[in-house]
């Protein structure tokens, strides 16, 4: 899953208003941000297998450190504790930690049965929504639109960067997903890993947008004419 993780990060702003969108994105996408680094270091493996699933050509041979449920709980705890140490914002710590774990739950919906429960677990799970392109598109865009609506209702742009920066990010995310469908699969795992490093771009972008938006004190719906 790609867009869904950003949708959840955007929506989390509503409950963790003092936490920057950059941190929320870093946490929700931690598994996919860490993954290319582990692929390039040789600690995890992937194979390109066009046609494996309708909406995904990747065979996730081994990714226990970035994508097992146990390790995401460990990473989530580390994120929560570190965030608390830096910000002393308890609610934000729970949200940041929870977002790291949410990655596994969202991936569970789309992946084939390749997600380990813990490193080395014989049982690997996945509900396989990637077998359906329409189903994948509905869930991916549904979550992104939901998150964008919640974020826009929770914050107000202070200037043009605050609004255009957000819309540009949403458009680029949509383009990333669409290009995955229309362009040929990556030639090899190393090329794919290098291109996946591009996901890191959205972390500073999230901080940048968030600094140019103000959190609404009150729900707009509650402010009558």
Q: List residues binding Zn ion (CB under 5 A).
A: 31-32, 107
* Minimum CB distance to Zn ion, residue 54 (Å): 18
DSSP 3-state assignment of 157? strand
Nearer to Zn ion, 34 or 209 (CB): 34
Report how far Cα 111 is from the mean position of its chain's Cα atoms: 14
CA distance 182 to 90: 43
* Minimum CB distance to Zn ion, residue 69 (Å): 12
* Minimum CB distance to Zn ion, residue 107 (Å): 4
* Minimum CB distance to Zn ion, residue 43 (Å): 16
* Minimum CB distance to Zn ion, residue 141 (Å): 17
Nearer to Zn ion, 124 or 153 (CB): 124
Percentages helix, strand, coil for the chain (3-state, rounded to 5) are 65, 10, 25
Nearer to Zn ion, 107 or 210 (CB): 107
Answer whether 144's CB lies under 8 Å from 6's CB.
Answer: yes
DSSP E strands: which ranges in the chain?
45-53, 56-62, 115-116, 124-125, 155-157, 213-215
Distances (CA, A) of 69 to 25, 75, 78, 106, 117: 19, 10, 14, 11, 5
* Minimum CB distance to Zn ion, residue 104 (Å): 8
Nearer to Zn ion, 45 or 156 (CB): 45
Nearer to Zn ion, 44 or 107 (CB): 107
Nearer to Zn ion, 90 or 201 (CB): 201
CA distance 106 to 177: 16
* Minimum CB distance to Zn ion, residue 68 (Å): 11
Nearer to Zn ion, 107 or 114 (CB): 107
CA distance 225 to 221: 10
Q: What is the dihedral of CA 145, 174, 46, 48, to 10 degrees?
A: 130
DSSP 3-state assignment of 156? strand
């Amino acid at each position: 899953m790609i867009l869904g993780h950003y949708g959840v990060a955007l929506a989390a702003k509503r409950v963790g208003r003092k936490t920057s969108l950059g941190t929320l994105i870093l946490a929700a996408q931690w598994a996919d941000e860490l993954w290319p680094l582990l692929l390039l270091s040789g600690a995890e493996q992937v194979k390109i297998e066009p046609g494996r699933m309708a909406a995904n050509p990747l065979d996730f041979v081994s990714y226990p450190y970035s994508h097992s449920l146990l390790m995401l709980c460990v990473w989530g705890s580390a994120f929560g504790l570190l965030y608390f140490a830096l910000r002393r914002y308890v609610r934000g710590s729970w949200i940041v930690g929870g977002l790291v774990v949410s990655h596994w739950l969202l991936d569970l919906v789309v992946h084939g049965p390749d997600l380990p429960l813990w490193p080395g677990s014989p049982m690997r799970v996945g509900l396989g929504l990637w077998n359906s392109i329409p189903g994948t598109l509905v869930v991916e865009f549904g979550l992104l639109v939901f998150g964008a609506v919640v974020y826009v209702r929770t914050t107000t742009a202070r200037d043009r960067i605050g609004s255009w920066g957000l819309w540009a990010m949403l458009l680029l995310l949509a383009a990333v997903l669409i290009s995955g469908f229309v362009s040929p699969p990556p030639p090899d795992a190393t090329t794919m890993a290098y291109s996946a490093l591009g996901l890191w771009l959205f972390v500073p972008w999230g901080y940048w947008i968030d600094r140019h938006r103000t959190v609404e004190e009150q729900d707009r719906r509650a402010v009558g004419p």
